[in-house]
Chain A
Amino acid sequence: MNILDPQGPIAAAEKTILIDSIGIMLAIVVPTIVAILAFAFWFRHSNSRAQYLPNWAYSGRLELVVWSIPTLTIILLGGVAWIGSHELDPARPVEGTGPPITVQVVSLDWKWLFIYPDQRVATVNSLTVPVGSPLNLRLTSASVMNAFFIPQLGTILYTMNGMVTRLHLRADEVGDLQGLSAHFSGDGFPEMLFDVHVVSQPAFGDWASNAARTGRPLNADTYKSELLKQSVPKDKTVYHLEDPELFQSIASQRIPPGPGPQLQGPKEAANTGASDVR
């Protein structure tokens, strides 16, 4: 999960910006800190060699320098921010080798559902992608806000019910990565980790057709009965996607958002003052 060890171009570019920005700022900050400690030490009361300037409280030249240093730094960093924000806009498609893969991501309480509409496959808490392909992710939430994040591939993006956000990534090395939710979503939040398997192109094709053949059926009904309620699944289920419009139904709220906590009984409700309004 080390963001300093990127496995894709987006994360690599973001890391470069991170390191460069830190470097630019340290160039100013380190001498300033040295000056603070040096002045504090030199002008200590017991140092009779230091010159006491009891009325020196203004210098036009110094003011010019003092306003310029942060301003110039910010102009430089502002340029980095402008260019970087445009080049690394999550909605901007990335190029790659092989056909682009569309993955529709739904954050639920408290698991991730990944839908591959073209492959007719869906998985829970496990994302398999081919190496080098452009990944077109469409994200929504079935309940509360979450944030989709694979640290080594880059760019966190919010998932919100009733809305679709767009994220474009690419994985450049075969291997296993980890992802998580980067926005607190309730009691089961720490469990919202998911595996990312970056496999070769042929391996991906095999995996997809195998999953479509053997997976449990996923349609609106099984989605509502198995996934929508608040739970933390033990297994990383693989589904055969029967309803290719499932994501659209979730995102447009045709399937209403998931229910909240079902309290254990009147005592627990009383203990927490659960509302009986409406």
Chain B
Amino acid sequence: MSMVAVTAHGHSLGIVEHPGPASKRIITGYGFWIFLLSDIIMFSCFFAAFAVLMGQTAGGPTGAQLFELRNVAIETIALLLSSFACGMASIAADVRNQFWFQVAMVVTAVLGLAFLTIEFREFASLIARGAGPTRSAFLSAFFTLVGCHGLHVSAGILWLFTMMAQVYAKGFRADIQRRMLCFALFWHALDIIWVAVFSVVYLLGSMA
């Protein structure tokens, strides 16, 4: 053991030495991004199932017969505007403005709830017409994909209220700011998924 056990690898030219562990904010954001990517993979399974089962209407109604694109447009606008409001809330949190933060979060919630209301009514109407998820494989896939997104939005609104309460009770503490970062990422990701949903399900599905 008289030789120093150094290999060639550690002495490559111009190597940048790793500076050490990243900051908490970066670590939190990074981990949450990874969670979001894994969630997107889960959604992609439901998209795949929808694509496979799209034509399996079992003699029942098709997408073209069921979808009301006007409602979808309103839902989309509501969600897009809510993302904007959420962005405003993030900015308010950055500058630590309690009032505007709460206002922006309320607006986000109202728009999100508007989205959910329209979606819930769409589902109820489909079920009442005998086009519920048990009617055919196509409808099972439709309700699951769109419903999964809706469930995520619902969970997001619960989270939203929790964040409002947290910030009200404890102010803009560092760990609460990190959670707000995660919440905002989540909310925007839901918007992105909705774009995919209405494109694949409603627009393409109406043409089938």
Residue-by-residue, is A19-61 near B (CB-CB < 8 Å gives 1, otherwise 0)? 0000000000000000000000000000000000011011000
Q: Is the interface of B mostly helix, strand, loop or mixed?
A: loop
- Which residue of chain B has its CB nearest to the CB of A278? B134
Residue-by-residue, is B1-38 near A (CB-CB < 8 Å gives 1, otherwise 0)? 10101011000000000000000000000000000000
Please give, as numbers and ranges, the residues of chain B lying within 8 Å of A55 by CB-CB distance. Answer: 3, 5, 7
Distance between B159 CB and nearest chain A CB, rounded to angstroms: 32
Assembled-state Cα–Cα distance A55/B4 (Å): 9
Interface size on A, residues (CB 8 A): 4
Assembled-state Cα–Cα distance A55/B3 (Å): 9
Please give, as numbers and ranges, the residues of chain A lying within 8 Å of B1 by CB-CB distance. Answer: 54
Distance between A102 CB and nearest chain B CB, rounded to angstroms: 29
Distance between A30 CB and nearest chain B CB, rounded to angstroms: 33
Distance between A6 CB and nearest chain B CB, rounded to angstroms: 37
Please give, as numbers and ranges, the residues of chain B lying within 8 Å of A58 by CB-CB distance. Answer: 7-8
CB atoms of B5 and A54 under 8 A apart: yes
Please give, as numbers and ranges, the residues of chain A lying within 8 Å of B7 by CB-CB distance. Answer: 55, 57-58
Please give, as numbers and ranges, the residues of chain A lying within 8 Å of B5 by CB-CB distance. Answer: 54-55
Please give, as numbers and ranges, the residues of chain B lying within 8 Å of A54 by CB-CB distance. Answer: 1, 3, 5
Please give, as numbers and ranges, the residues of chain A lying within 8 Å of B3 by CB-CB distance. Answer: 54-55
Residue-by-residue, is A58-71 near B (CB-CB < 8 Å gives 1, otherwise 0)? 10000000000000
- Which residue of chain A has its CB nearest to the CB of B7? A57
**CB within 8 Å of B: which A162-207 residues:** none
Assembled-state Cα–Cα distance A57/B8 (Å): 10
Assembled-state Cα–Cα distance A64/B3 (Å): 28
Assembled-state Cα–Cα distance A57/B7 (Å): 8
Distance between A157 CB and nearest chain B CB, rounded to angstroms: 22
Please give, as numbers and ranges, the residues of chain A lying within 8 Å of B8 by CB-CB distance. Answer: 58
Assembled-state Cα–Cα distance A54/B3 (Å): 9
Assembled-state Cα–Cα distance A79/B98 (Å): 68
Chain B residues packing against A (C-beta within 8 Å): 1, 3, 5, 7-8
9 A-B contacts (beta carbon < 8 Å): A54-B1, A54-B3, A54-B5, A55-B3, A55-B5, A55-B7, A57-B7, A58-B7, A58-B8
Besides A54-B5, A58-B7, 4 other A-B contacts (C-beta < 8 A): A54-B1, A55-B3, A55-B5, A58-B8
Please name the 4 residue pairs, one residue from A and one from B, whose CB atoms are nearest each other, closest first: A57-B7, A55-B5, A55-B3, A54-B5
